[in-house]
Structure 1
Amino acid sequence: MREAERASGRPAAASFEHVSPAGAALAGPVDEATARPYGVDPARVGALAGAYLRARDADPKSSYGDFAAVSREVDLELADLLAGVVSDGIVAPGYAPGVLEVLARKKNGGFLVMEADPGFAPPDEEAREVFGMRLVQDRDRSPLTPELLTDVPVGALSDAARADLLLGLAVLRHTQSNSVCYVRDGRTLGIGAGQQSRVDCTRLAGAKADTWWLRRHPLVQGLAFRPGVRRQDRINWQVRLAEGDLTADERARLRSAVTTDPGDLGPDARAAWLAGLTGVSFASDGALPFRDNVDHAHRHGVTAIAEPGGSIRSAEVEDACRELGVTLARTGLRLFHH
Structure 2
Amino acid sequence: MTRPIPLTRALISVSDKTGLVEFAQSLAARGVELLSTGGTAKTLREAGLSVRDVADVTGFPEMMDGRVKTLHPKVHGGLLALRDNQEHLAAMEAHQIEAIDLLVVNLYPFEETVAKGADYADCIENIDIGGPAMIRAAAKNHSFVATVVDVEDYDAVLAELDANDGATSYPFRQRLAQIAYARTAAYDAAVSTWMAGAIGEEAPRRRAFAGQLAQTLRYGENPHQQAAFYLDGTNRPGVATAKQLQGKELSYNNINDTDAAFELVSEFGTEKPAVAIIKHANPCGVATGETVIEAYKRAFDCDRTSAFGGIIALNQTLDAATAEEITKIFSEVIIAPAVDEAAKEVIAKKKNVRLLETGGLPDTTAPITTYRQVAGGFLVQDKDNGVITLDDLKVVTERQPSEQELKDLLFAWKVAKHVKSNAIIYVKDGATVGVGAGQMSRVDSTRIAARKAEDMMDACGLAETPTKESVVASDAFFPFADGLITAAEAGATAIIQPGGSMRDQEVIDAANERGLAMVFTGMRHFRH
TM range (shorter): 0.7 to 0.9
- TM-superposed deviation, 1:54: 0.8
The equivalent of 1:24 in structure 2 is 286
Q: d(CA) in 1 for partners of 2:346 and 2:459?
A: 32
Preserved CA contact (<8 Å) 1:214 1:274:
no
Q: 1:134-191: CA deviations, max 9, x gaps?
A: 0111222222422233434331111111111111111111111110100111111110
Higher relative contact order (CA 8 A, sep 6+): 1
The equivalent of 2:211 in structure 1 is none
Q: d(CA) in 1 for partners of 2:467 and 2:333?
A: 33
Alignment CA distance shift 1:301-1:319 (3 Å):
same
Counting matched residue pairs gives 263
Q: d(CA) in 1 for partners of 2:470 and 2:346?
A: 37
Q: d(CA) in 2 for partners of 1:133 and 1:3?
A: 31
Alignment CA distance shift 1:278-1:20 (3 Å):
same
Alignment CA distance shift 1:111-1:164 (3 Å):
same
Q: d(CA) in 2 for partners of 1:118 and 1:216?
A: 31
The equivalent of 2:358 in structure 1 is 115
- TM-superposed deviation, 1:58: 0.5
Q: How is 1:306-325 mapped onto 2 (pairs within 5 angstroms)?
A: 306-325=496-515
2:392 is paired with a residue whose SS is helix
Preserved CA contact (<8 Å) 1:151 1:331:
no
Alignment CA distance shift 1:274-1:102 (3 Å):
closer
The equivalent of 1:283 in structure 2 is 473
Q: d(CA) in 2 for partners of 1:167 and 1:5?
A: 12
Q: d(CA) in 2 for partners of 1:320 and 1:164?
A: 21
Kindly, what percent of the aligned residue pairs are identical?
Answer: 36
Q: How is 1:1-338 mapped onto 2 (pairs within 5 angstroms)?
A: 1-5=265-269, 9-27=271-289, 47-106=291-350, 108-115=351-358, 117-120=360-363, 123-215=367-459, 274=464, 278-338=468-528
Q: 1:20-57: CA deviations, max 9, x gaps?
A: 011111105xxxxxxxxxxxxxxxxxx10111111011
Alignment CA distance shift 1:276-1:64 (3 Å):
closer
Q: Which amino acid aligns with 1:111?
A: R
1:290 is paired with a residue whose SS is coil
1:94 is paired with a residue whose SS is coil
Q: d(CA) in 1 for partners of 2:378 and 2:327?
A: 41
Alignment CA distance shift 1:14-1:98 (3 Å):
same
Preserved CA contact (<8 Å) 1:210 1:300:
no
Larger Rg: 2
Q: d(CA) in 1 for partners of 2:283 and 2:495?
A: 20
The equivalent of 1:251 in structure 2 is none
- Deviation above 6 Å: which 4+ runs of structure 1? none
- TM-superposed deviation, 1:10: 2.3
Q: d(CA) in 1 for partners of 2:380 and 2:293?
A: 38
2:304 is paired with a residue whose SS is coil
TM norm structure 2 = 0.47
- TM-superposed deviation, 1:214: 4.9
TM norm structure 1 = 0.72
Q: d(CA) in 1 for partners of 2:455 and 2:352?
A: 35
Preserved CA contact (<8 Å) 1:287 1:307:
yes
- TM-superposed deviation, 1:19: 0.8
1:62 is paired with a residue whose SS is helix
Preserved CA contact (<8 Å) 2:427 2:433:
yes
Q: d(CA) in 1 for partners of 2:420 and 2:357?
A: 22
Q: d(CA) in 2 for partners of 1:182 and 1:275?
A: 11
- TM-superposed deviation, 1:131: 3.1
Question: 5+ residue gaps in structure 1?
Answer: 29-46, 219-272
Q: d(CA) in 2 for partners of 1:158 and 1:90?
A: 35
Q: 1:178-231: CA deviations, max 9, x gaps?
A: 10100111111110000011111011101112223454557xxxxxxxxxxxxx
The equivalent of 2:28 in structure 1 is none
The equivalent of 2:246 in structure 1 is none
Q: d(CA) in 2 for partners of 1:90 and 1:15?
A: 9
Q: Which amino acid aligns with 1:327?
A: A
